[in-house]
A and B are shown apart, each in its own frame.
Chain A
Amino acid sequence: MNKRLSDPIQLVNLREEIIASQDPEQVCITVCCGTGCSASGAGDVMAAFEEELQKQGLEAKIATRRTGCHGFCERGPLVVIYPKKIFYQRVSVKDVPEVVTETIRKDNIIERLLYVDPTSAKKIVYEDEVPFYRYQERLIFGENGLIDPTKITDYIALGGYSALAKVISEMKSDDIISEIKRSGLRGRGGAGFPTGKKWEICRKEKGDFKYIICNGDEGDPGAFMDRSLLEGNPHSVLEGMIIGAYAIGATEGYIYIRNEYPLAVKNFSVALEQAREWGFLGHSILGSDFSFDMKLNRGAGAFVCGEETGLIASIEGRTGEPRPRPPYPAQKGLWGRPTNINNVKTWANVPLIINKGAEWYSKIGTKTSRGTMIFSLVGKINNTGLVEVPMGVKLKDMIYKIGGGIPEGKEFKAVQTGGPSGGCIPASLIDLCIDYEELTNVGSMMGSGGMIVMDENTCMVDTAKYFLSFTKEESCGKCTPCREGVDRMHHVLSEITAGRGKEGDIELLQELADYVSKASLCALGGTAPNPVLTTIRYFRDECEAHIKDKKCPAGVCKALIQYYIDPEKCNGCHLCFKSCPQGAISGELKSPHSIDQQKCSKCGVCFESCKFEAVILRR
């Protein structure tokens, strides 16, 4: 059957048909099948539901849907039951029969599966009331929970591809670019360059062949929002790209997805096939004289391929080594032709702007940073997950209202934003409003949206060293400052954390950091010193404690800490003795034990094993 739509009216009719065939009152069990929940067994939970529904003869009456990531990863596997949107969290296969019997059949709520608000101790039944979601504005990400990403009809039913239809029937390239410019949309991948301006530059370049690329090489450790969008709502990104291609005059596009995201690769490939089938890609899209198609390239494990020119080199089959600019990719990009590259989230914002208008969009966020941003809130935080908020939200609210605060009642110390290119923002700046300029002013950056929360037991010197070891590993090695400079900075920090820091180390780090940021060939090297610079700026005391006092206040750096057993608390249960891999613990059963510091490797196994808190960490 030829499904290919040959004009926008057919799309409208198709949408009406699909909606008509759906019953909004039908009970539908949705299970989040993003990578996080899948790793916790969501696939098994879904299979259990399908089996149970059959067993109870309900399979014709009750619908099921595998959806993309809902964002509240800490609480997966997540099950949301429509139409009421009953929210069950940490659902296991064992719970499934009861859910069907009690909730589906009898409308009874199973209390133990509900989310409990830690402050009010109240049990929350409906998804929209869960504080994690209530304070968000999920304009882009909200659809993830409503669709099966492998079914284009789900996307169409929600209004998908109506922006593309609007563009093709009513708008010229200049109109579209003007709309994107007026919306104030800025690149969501890192630097925040105005998207409309970027498109305009590429549009103006002469040439019959232009390319657009989606940068899906989300390499910042701790960031997984691009992955969740590609897995959970690939058509939203695709639609944005087709609109962009139309506006810029590109005939071919590429999406570059990280190798470590197999589900994203799979779901996006399915989306491409379906889009071709229905005529959103290929020749004469929706009956117009606009033709465009796309290829999918997988990354091969190199963070530097997230850099524009490195990414282009990788698509060309070469090593991902960046090159100096000018010429910029908009002028000479893929195979020397004008190329426009944008991040996954940037493309996903486009259909929204076209549908709702630049004026509506520009009212969200702050003066310089419009729209919403999707952050990955991870680390020492109660509510780990993906959060979409308007630009300008207070850091305080991210951490406490949405994030639910720090686990185990520990003290909030810092938040790291922008990945290895960003910096650490200390607790003293908790009233900061999060937007591009505010983050840059304090020495960090928005980056891709990673937000790593740290508590009193995170060592900031160790963290700086960690980021440098990452950059060192990922450096392409082409230019002297990044290859040699980052390595030497890392060495200084390693010496400091090993207890061999010396007077003048901080000054040397500062000098090297300034040099590497100015002299590097690309932004990987250019931003690599940022974690070090913010650590020196905001946590100088902690650095000096390591260097002068040979102490690690957070209790992390092995060379500067010691484990010992408190004889008052130790009851001689012998558990640590058995667990110690170095045989460093001695003691008779039922008598206090002790650790031989010469043999102790500071692995911390005894500290983790002791049930009586008798093993003490001395900093």
Chain B
Amino acid sequence: MVTKYISSVEDDIVGVESLLERYTPNPEFLIAILQDLQAEFHYLPKQMFLLVAEKLGLPLSQVYRVATFYNAFSLEPKGKHLISICTGTACHVRGTPRIVERLQDILKIEAGQTTPDRKFTLQTVNCLGACALGPLVVIDGKYHGRMTSAKIEKALKNHEQETQ
């Protein structure tokens, strides 16, 4: 669950700088640094790109290139609840597309987007490697196995209530 948001630029720049201190200023650590930032802030705020570029002696365009190439990074803030649906082949043959459509219908967003009220982010993920539980939906790190399009709405509502 995302609880931390950028509140003021000064605090965060200091936070980012101390995170960057952990690394030798070598371009090979670009991905690792972005992963740490993503884990800390749950997305990559624009403001951080320049700091990272300066620290590593890279052009800004290179940082942007890497940040947009990899799925692990998000340039948009995520919602409070993260819903990940495994789209691995095993889950697919057991009926994942129906569940994706159902969720898109319920939340009124496409996969990859966040609801306007910032409550939910819906994303499809490549195989999580828990194929025996397929179709698999993970909500805020909690695994919901053997999901169906009939059960998903209730599972979502229950989760929301439990985490209130």
Contact = CB atoms under 8 A, between A and B. Distances in A.
Is chain B in direct contact with chain A in the complex (CB below 8 A)?
Answer: yes
Interface stretch (A57-65, A433-441, A518-526, A603-611): A603-611
A222 B28 contact: no
Contacts of A74: 132
B90 A222 contact: yes
Contact of B30 (A228, A298, A317, A470): A317
B132 A378 contact: yes
Contacts of B14: none
A40 B133 contact: yes
Contacts of B26: 317
A267 to B, nearest CB: 14
Interface in B47-75: 65-66, 69-73
> B88, B89, B133 — which one has the most chain A CB atoms within 10 A of its CB?
B89
Contacts, number: 150
A221 B90 contact: yes
B80 interface: no
B70 A39 contact: no
Interface residues of A, number: 58
Interface stretch (A15-23, A156-164, A355-363, A379-387): A379-387
Given A39-B133, A220-B127, A317 B28 contact: yes
Contacts of B28: 315-317
Interface stretch (A101-109, A450-458, A504-512): A450-458
B145 A300 contact: no
A491 B126 CA distance: 21
Given A259-B72, A298-B35, A301-B71, A319 B27 contact: no
B9 interface: no
B83 interface: no
A463 B149 CA distance: 19
B93 A454 contact: yes
Contacts of B132: 36, 73-74, 76, 378, 384-385
Interface in B95-148: 95, 98, 101-102, 105-106, 125-134, 136, 143, 145, 148
B44 to A, nearest CB: 12
Given A223-B127, A302-B69, A603 B98 contact: yes
B20 interface: no
Contact of A605 (B128, B130, B143, B149): B149
Interface of B: 26-32, 34-35, 65-66, 69-73, 87-90, 92-95, 98, 101-102, 105-106, 125-134, 136, 143, 145, 148-150
* A-B CB proximity, top 8 nearest: A301-B71, A224-B129, A221-B88, A73-B132, A378-B90, A300-B70, A221-B127, A378-B131
25 contacts: A36-B130, A40-B133, A40-B143, A73-B130, A221-B92, A221-B127, A222-B89, A224-B127, A224-B131, A228-B129, A298-B31, A300-B35, A317-B28, A319-B69, A319-B70, A378-B90, A379-B89, A379-B90, A416-B89, A581-B102, A601-B105, A603-B102, A603-B149, A605-B150, A608-B148
